[in-house]
Every structure is written in structure tokens, then in C-alpha cells.
Amino acid sequence: MKKITDIAKILNAEIINLGDPQREITGGYAGDFLSFVMGKAPADCAWFTVMTNVNVCAVATLADVGVIVLCEGVTPDKNLLEKAKEHNVNIIATKADVFNAVKTFASYED
């Protein structure tokens, strides 16, 4: 299991919102098609995406995602950030592309 701060370190990511700093991350999911994420992302996962609108928070909440990992240098829009704070959703952001972010995350061992 990984902590949000550990994931941020290994991905050289900025912590955007730390709503639940003790949340343990047990897996990962990469995708931008929101209905797929809702149905397929495992609970407590790190969700790797380039989507930055407010719907990302709703999907993360519904799927019980542990942390949203924004990739490729994208930043959350204002509405996403507000909702993430309201619902204690963890968000970090990395400049790495999705492939390399997932590869780095997957190679990290506890």
C-alpha cells in the first residue's frame, strides 16, 4: 500500500489537494472515458488522467478513487478544485505523460 505523499514523491508530482492524507492506495487505473472509470476503476486506486473538469471529482467520488493523478502538466479547473476540497478528494499533478507515470507508479515497491 502506498500513501499519497509517497506517490507524489515518486512521480515528482505537486500535491494539488490533500483531502484525505491517510488514504492508502492499493492499485491504479488509467483512463479518460469517465463511464469506464466509474465502472472499472477499483476502490482506493490512483486514477491517471488528463481530464480536469468538475466531472472528474464526481467520478472519483462514485468510484471511491484514492487519488486523482493529473498527468502531462495539466491543472485542475477552478470548479474541480472547489469540489475536490468540498469532498476531500486527493489530487496530485505530474508533468509525466500517462504511460510513464503509470510505469513509474507500477515499479514502486513498498
Q: Model confidence over 55-81: pLDDT tens digits?
A: 999 999 999 999 999 999 999 999 999
Q: Provide φ and ψ at 8, rounded to 5°.
A: -60, -40
86, three cell numbers? 468540498
CA-wise closest residue to 49 among 109, 80, 105, 94: 94
What digits encode the pLDDT tens for the residues 48-57? 999 999 999 9
Close Cβ partners of 100 (under 8 Å, ≥ 6 residues apart): none
What digits encode the pLDDT tens for the residues 86-110? 999 999 999 999 999 999 999 986 5
Close Cβ partners of 36 (under 8 Å, ≥ 6 residues apart): none
**Which domains, and CATH codes, for the chain?**
2-107 (3.40.1390.20)
The partner residues of 29 in beta bridges, in order of sequence, read 47
> The pTM is what?
0.96
